[in-house]
Amino acid sequence: MGAIKLVALIASTFFASHAAAHQPVMDMAPRWEDGFGFQIRNETRVSDELKNGSDDIPNPTDRERFVNTTWLEGIYTFKREIRATVKIPWVVQHRDVPAGPGTRRLQGSGLGDVIFALPLRKYWNFQKSTMNIGLTPQVRVPTGSTSESDPLGDGSWDFGLSASVSTESFRWYTLVDVFWWKNTDGVKNIDQGDQLGLDANLGYHVYHDNERNWGAFVMVDLEARYEEGGQDVAGRTGGSRLTLGPILVGYWDNWMVRAEVKVPTWERVRGTQFTRGPAVNVGLGVTF
């Protein structure tokens, strides 16, 4: 396997795997016709911090929000420029809300809202690097139950569009992705606002053993999010935030493992809400 093809397969597989924007499994790979792949990853977020706007506020009753999502993600490549992806979430979550002098716990577990997408790519190959631009229409299907006290979905069909540009060489990988989600009206008075996001990834190929075809990458990931004001069963939604964190990737032939930590560096919410909180994400994937 050539150096550029290797970077395309490994770096793009695990660097860009966020549920809202990038296309997992293998954001740009596999690049061969009739190629396919799968990835399973687990993301955990916990927060006991409350904000009103950009101000921290007290949490005397130790309220908490916890979200654990296990994603099963797949891709099929019709040809290099056209592929289809699916992201299937299994969610376990709870959050505490005020109730009289104390709190009440809302909770839910089960299948979340499934996301289908059709990533379209245009590639350019240079002597020591490659470049591509992408356009990805997406749809989020209301498969998550709204009967839980902390609903797993909002009961609406939502539509997204992502535009990206990335470059790859044997040592470096970069990606900039801008996306937008149209959140339509849900059920149970859930009406979350539309979302606009930016992701920027910078990765470095620290080691590669050509004979055994294994190695490692490190990367820095920056996220920016803006969500219009809305509401869910617990109150107001929406706000803005910046998130920063490292990613470590290891690979062995067709297998890849990934670990990621994300820490909010700035956040402003609408009304009083839990902060987004730090997130830990680990994943395992394979291509065929």
| pLDDT at residue 103 greater than cutoff 60 | yes
Q: How confident is the model at residue 225 (pLDDT cuts 50, 70, 90)?
A: very high
Question: How high is the pLDDT of residue 3?
Answer: 46
* Residue 270 lies in domain: 3-287
pLDDT in tens, 200-218: 999 999 998 888 888 898 9
User: For residue 198, what is the domain's CATH number?
Assistant: 2.40.160.40
Q: Helix or strand or coil: residue 237?
A: strand
Selection from 206, 233, 229 nearest residue 217 by Cα = 206
Q: Per the structure, how many domains does the chain have?
A: 1
Q: How confident is the model at residue 267 (pLDDT cuts 50, 70, 90)?
A: very high
Q: Three-class SS of residue 186?
A: coil
Residue 24 has pLDDT above 60, yes or no: no
Q: Which residue has the tokens 């470096």?
A: 172
Q: Residue 35: in which H helix or E strand, if any?
A: strand 35-47
Helix (H, G, I), strand (E, B) or coil at 14: helix
Q: What is the pLDDT of residues 122-146, one digit of tens each?
A: 999 998 899 999 999 999 999 999 9
Q: Residue range 94-100: average pLDDT?
A: 94
Distance spanning both ends of the chain, measured CA to CA: 14
pLDDT digits (tens, 9 = 90+) for 49-91: 999 999 999 999 999 999 999 999 998 989 888 989 999 999 9
- The pairing of strands 195-209 and 214-232 is antiparallel
For residue 286, give the nearest of 248, 252, 259 by alpha carbon.
252
Q: In the prediction, which pLDDT does 108 show?
A: 97
**What pLDDT does 8 receive?**
43
Q: How far is CA 112 from the centre of its chain?
A: 14
Give the pLDDT of residue 26: 45
